[in-house]
Structure 1
Amino acid sequence: MASRNTRTTGRQIPAGRSSGSSQAPGTTVTLERAVDPSGVVTSLVRRTVHPSGLRIVTEQMAGVRSAAVGVWVGVGSRDESAELHGASHFLEHLLFKGTADRSALDISVALDRVGGEFNAFTAKEYTCFHARVLDDDLPLAIDVLSDMVTSSLITPEDVEAERDVILDEIAMHDDDPDDVVHNLFAAQAWGEDTPLGRGIAGTEESISALDRDAIHAFYRERYRPEQIVVSAAGNLDHETVVAEVVDAFGRAGFLERRATPVAPRGGSPLPVIPGQVEAQRPFEQVNLVLGMEGLRRDDDRRFALGVLNTAVGGGTSSRLFQEVRERRGLAYSVFSFTSSHAETGLVGVSVGCLPAKLDDVLETVRAELARVAEEGITLDELELGKGQLRGGLVLGLEDSASRMSRIGKAELVHDELLTIDDVLARIDAVTLEDCAKIAAEVFGRPELLAIVGPA
């Protein structure tokens, strides 16, 4: 762990899709190395690129007896056509249903028997299958996850059975006001008929229309070695993990699959569409998201925006929480957020309130954002924002699962793996002037507003 008693060394070596071509296949490089004052290595991050394009990234952690592994596939809901809306999430479910060597029950029993935890999730830009086990059981976890990812049967019977499960999940999210309003917000931002504007799980119509052949073709096309990163962290040895991953992924000729050309992300900036959209639901509260265009994920100003966001609405001492809830009693929940993608981003404020207080909430939030855009934040708010980001970063990396996620996501979707110390240094380098500039630019942009609640 990088802290006052640990120093991190090593270059910030480029990661992401371009890394596979810049590093010679079969070679291993060190991305990050942390040592304590006595010279003992406390963390070591290394990467190997297989000739097939499969990337393996590990972090060897001192003083732990667990290990976590994730299989990160570079496909998500934004990669789907309208006809395939929801296919990535559908696949996530189906890959747990069985392979040529394991039934669905076998998959569950294998990790339950050793007390392991495993799950999966789908995002707009990737899908991840992950497990956390005792260090001795890491080879088993690697074998089970690789079997699922490379050799799932995706039978017509499983497709039909899981279709109903996903339709239930969609209905469940439609009953959650927070899910509904944020999906509505994204649809307004980028258009409900665009890949980024559509919901991750699909719709009742799109899921009902998907058949086994379409899903299987999507699986064969998108689940390719060059689209996959395997990340692992904990009490492990990099070379051993590489050998186990190559052996496990080599089943059924998976590593010999030819690459399918995939259009790179992050081309021309994708503008955000301002405007207001509403949906009626029989909820007790009104939920709203008020926001505007933010920053792309590779924008160097993201650290200043992160500090600003935390100071404005990132906790109970933030400006919005104090003004909206503590002083005025207008809402129980209020927070600000940022989200970013390869070519676009959003900033926003999410609030849940009684219908009678909607107008007052909007007036107060707009006034506070306008004030920040005009005046910036105070020195106390700057230090508050930095402190929260620093603490959240370090405390969020205390276990092997979070470390596995950090290096996996950095390799798959970011341009570089920054050391923890480098991230802390970039946070500390943010000034009041930096925050004032980004506040004036972002909070001065045209707004978009999503509202969900009773008529």
Structure 2
Amino acid sequence: MGKIKQTVRQDGLRIITKKLTYTQKVMFSVTSLMGSANDSEESLGLAHYFEHMVFQGTKNRDKDELERLLALYCITHNADTSHLRTRYYGESAKINYKKMVEVILDMYCNPIFPEDRIENERGVINNEIIMRHSSDDITVSENIITALYGDKSLAGRGVIGSKETIATVNREVLLKMHKEYYSPANSVIVVTGDVSHSEVVKMVNRFFPRIVGNYKSQKIEWNNDSCSLPSSQIIQEERPGRECALLCLGVKLKNFDFKERVILSILVKYFRKIVFDELRQKRGLVYTAGAYLNSERPLYNTFCLYAETAVANLDEIKKLMTEIILNKVCLEKYIEDIKQRILAESSVSLETTGDWNRAILGRVVLGEDDVSSLDNYFKNISEALNSIDLGMVERIFYENLNHKDNLAFSIVTNKI
């Protein structure tokens, strides 16, 4: 396994590789450091709409040819939009990776946005909006962010937009967005697999045009509003015909450093056990229950408990979940086992080309200029765990989680 290597072109394009000699797969991603947080309130969903349109044809290849080549050269390929970035990626056999890179960079650098495809994708996205709004899991997870940060905040207003906000998307708008946000200075390329860094740089230079004179990135310094109280104490959607209720209890977190992130992982595993034991094993009130971190740093961070229960149990579960998060933590008999589990999971968390690609890109989105610390990820986790004691974990808990006024609920249920 080789070290992470990075080249930054004069026009600002970052090219990062991680050599993995044990695999014949190569993962390639090219990412614009913009997402839905860059959309205006009136055009929310534009970044996501743009992502769809990149697949609809280029100056060199029409939509059908792109689909044929992606199927031919890629084991898997896709794109996704978050609040802070829009990523296009593919994984291929090593023998095909150069062709894969050429096709995906053609899509990224040379989209033409055919008028007929713009209208077609408007229909596709409207159906996606309906699908997402019909999903209980998506509704609960999105509404907890809205409850904590507010529906007008960049974090709380979602990614995909609405039928109304995407109605005015046209070719002129898409061309302007491409010019502003898909420049070299606002882009990062990550390649993971058994590849040569110099060969990757040479290939990218061939297919990603250089820009002379303007190297300015459009990236914004995002602010995590972690100090204010939740915008709403509860967002509850009532859907007739349901026999079960899905609920999430969340709290905002400040931006945290690496060691604090490890401590929060300890707390997640602790509360995952406590919630499951209290609600299912002891009382039989739920089928599923647990805890998780939901974070898109540096824009937002949340700590959440969740459960699915019969509608008749909803009030009791709300009360019990609130008591669990506000009670004194009793970590003494669990902390060493939890630390050992985190250490074991960390030892296998960066194995595949996809694992490495996502981890490197995540550090870039966080604003890190040097991502080489990932080469020592397991060592850093091990050292952090060895330095963490019970008092440190309790301090993070009482400073961040143990405050009733900071809690909010997101619920999907039948009418009660």
TM-score in terms of structure 1 length = 0.84
- What is the match of residue 29 of structure 1? none
What's the CA shift string for 1:24-52, capped at 9, x where partnerless? xxxxxxxxxxxxxxxxxx23211110111
Q: For 1:138 and 1:368, how far apart are their aligned partners in 2?
A: 50
1:261 positional shift? 5.6
1:407 and 2:388 equivalent? no
Conserved? CA contact 1:67–1:234, under 8 Å: yes
1:165-184 matches, cutoff 5 A? 165-184=124-143
- What is the match of residue 350 of structure 2? 397
1:185 positional shift? 1.3
Structure 1 residue corresponding to 2:393, chosen from 406, 414, 435: 435
Q: For 1:96 and 1:380, how far apart are their aligned partners in 2?
A: 53
Q: For 1:439 and 1:345, how far apart are their aligned partners in 2?
A: 14
SS of structure 2 residue aligned to 1:204: coil
1:327-366 matches, cutoff 5 A? 327-340=282-295, 341-342=297-298, 344-366=300-322
Structure 1 residue corresponding to 2:323, chosen from 342, 355, 367: 367
Distance of aligned partners of 1:143 and 1:161 in 2 relative to their CA distance in 1, 3 Å threshold: same
- What is the match of residue 276 of structure 2? 321
Structure 1 residue corresponding to 2:383, chosen from 414, 420, 425: 425
Structure 2: which 5+ residue stretches go unaligned? Answer: none
- What is the match of residue 7 of structure 1? none
1:133-172 matches, cutoff 5 A? 133-172=92-131
1:45-124 matches, cutoff 5 A? 45-114=4-73, 116-124=75-83
- What is the match of residue 447 of structure 1? 407
Q: For 2:356 and 2:299, how far apart are their aligned partners in 1?
A: 26
1:258 positional shift? 2.7
1:178-327 matches, cutoff 5 A? 178-250=137-209, 255-256=211-212, 258-260=214-216, 262=218, 264-267=220-223, 269-274=225-230, 275-282=233-240, 283-298=242-257, 300-313=259-272, 318-327=273-282
Task: Point out the more displaced range, 47-56 or 214-223.
Answer: 214-223
Distance of aligned partners of 1:426 and 1:255 in 2 relative to their CA distance in 1, 3 Å threshold: farther
Q: For 1:203 and 1:111, how far apart are their aligned partners in 2?
A: 30
Q: For 1:249 and 1:263, how far apart are their aligned partners in 2?
A: 20
SS of structure 2 residue aligned to 1:220: helix
1:194 positional shift? 2.1
The amino acid across from 2:362 in the alignment is: K
Distance of aligned partners of 1:428 and 1:210 in 2 relative to their CA distance in 1, 3 Å threshold: farther
1:297 positional shift? 4.6
1:269 positional shift? 4.4
How many pairs are equivalent? Answer: 404
Conserved? CA contact 1:307–1:427, under 8 Å: no
Task: Point out the more displaced range, 266-275 or 204-213.
Answer: 266-275
1:383 positional shift? 2.5
What's the CA shift string for 1:313-340, capped at 9, x where partnerless? 1xxxx11112112221111121212233
1:94 positional shift? 0.7
Q: For 2:355 and 2:239, how far apart are their aligned partners in 1?
A: 36
Q: For 1:118 and 1:247, how far apart are their aligned partners in 2?
A: 22
1:397 positional shift? 1.9
Distance of aligned partners of 1:227 and 1:380 in 2 relative to their CA distance in 1, 3 Å threshold: farther
1:429 positional shift? 2.6
Identity %, equivalent residues: 22
1:70 positional shift? 0.8
Structure 2 residue corresponding to 1:131, chosen from 46, 70, 90: 90
1:115 positional shift? 5.0
- RMSD, aligned α-carbons: 2.0
1:125 positional shift? 1.0
Q: For 1:267 and 1:238, how far apart are their aligned partners in 2?
A: 34
The amino acid across from 1:146 in the alignment is: L
Q: For 2:347 and 2:67, how far apart are their aligned partners in 1?
A: 32
What's the CA shift string for 1:156-201, capped at 9, x where partnerless? 2111100111111111111110111121111122211222111111
1:298 positional shift? 4.1
Conserved? CA contact 1:298–1:342, under 8 Å: no
Q: For 1:414 and 1:443, how far apart are their aligned partners in 2?
A: 26
SS of structure 2 residue aligned to 1:96: helix
The amino acid across from 2:408 in the alignment is: L
Structure 1: which 5+ residue stretches go unaligned? Answer: 1-41
Distance of aligned partners of 1:225 and 1:297 in 2 relative to their CA distance in 1, 3 Å threshold: farther
